[in-house]
Amino acid sequence: MAGLLTARVLADGFEEVTVIERDSPSDEPGVRRGVPQGRHVHLLKETGRATLEDLLPGYGEELLSAGGLMIDMLSDFVAYQKGSVLVPGPTRIPAYFATRPLFERIVAGEIPSHAVYEDETAYAFLDVNPLAPGHTLVIPKEPYERLDKVPPSVAGDLFAAIAELAPAIEAAVAAPGGLIAAHNGAAAGQEVPHLHWHIVPRFEDDGAGAIHALFDGVEMDDEELAATAAEIREHQ
């Protein structure tokens, strides 16, 4: 990992960077002989993920799509340190579990990332576990956790990219429509603390239904709607 990431940093200033590995390359993913600890499950903490995300936009999404897990540091597993079990409880600090070969293969680019768009602000690639043909993820190159953290100028560039991509994706897969959505916060289903948008082509009888099918719905009279609208205006 150190050599691969060093090569990534050096690549910004050199035309070619060569990484010399101890072990011979293999077409099959697996533990390398020179990495005896490679058989252990590895943990990537949030600072490490953010650093990797900065160097390799989309790393977190690719890791989870390829089978990695995101867990809470203390509520999702038992932590034993210095002879004592740490008191379990939510920390809101995510960490990532995966095999070392999986971490390495994504950094090395051995797990395909099929890019469809890139500019100074945004990067878009096909989801490796698509909900439909052409399912695309659009991310800002800078790591923002939620939409309210995104500067207005960056948000404008991102939505311009989405507006350009959506019709191109639909045309490419002959889809009559599409769904554009983002999970903004854990309560909304966000698993990776790097805001991203899904562009999912929709087809007749694809079984997904409308967004209203996801919720039971609530009843609000005109007075309640007016009060909610006033609260929204106040918080802008």
Q: What is the pLDDT of residues 215-224, one digit of tens each?
A: 888 999 999 9
Q: Would you say residue 66 has pLDDT above 90?
A: no
96 with 123, same domain? no
Q: Are residues 157 and 195 in the same domain?
A: yes
Same domain, 63 and 12: yes
According to the model, what pLDDT value does residue 28 have? 56
Strands 84-85, 41-45: parallel, antiparallel or unpaired by DSSP? Answer: unpaired
For 84-135, what is each residue's pLDDT tens digit? 888 877 877 778 888 777 777 777 765 556 889 989 899 898 887 789 999 9
To 5 degrees, how large is the angle CA 125–CA 126–CA 127? 115
Q: Residues 53, 54, 56, 62: what is their CA dihedral angle, to the nearest 10 degrees?
A: 20
Same domain, 131 and 209: yes
Task: Compute the distance between CA of residue 107 and CA of residue 111 in angstroms, rounded to an integer.
Answer: 9
The CATH number assigned to the domain holding 185 equals 3.30.428.10
Say how many domains are in the chain. 2
Query: Global pTM?
Result: 0.62
For this structure, is 196 an active site residue?
yes
What is the residue range of 150's domain?
A: 115-214
Q: Do 140 and 204 fall within a single domain?
A: yes
Q: Per mean pLDDT, which of 19-33, 69-83, 151-165 is the most reliable?
A: 151-165
What was the pLDDT predicted at 111? 56
From the candidates 40, 42, 114, 196, give the one annotated as an active-site residue.
196
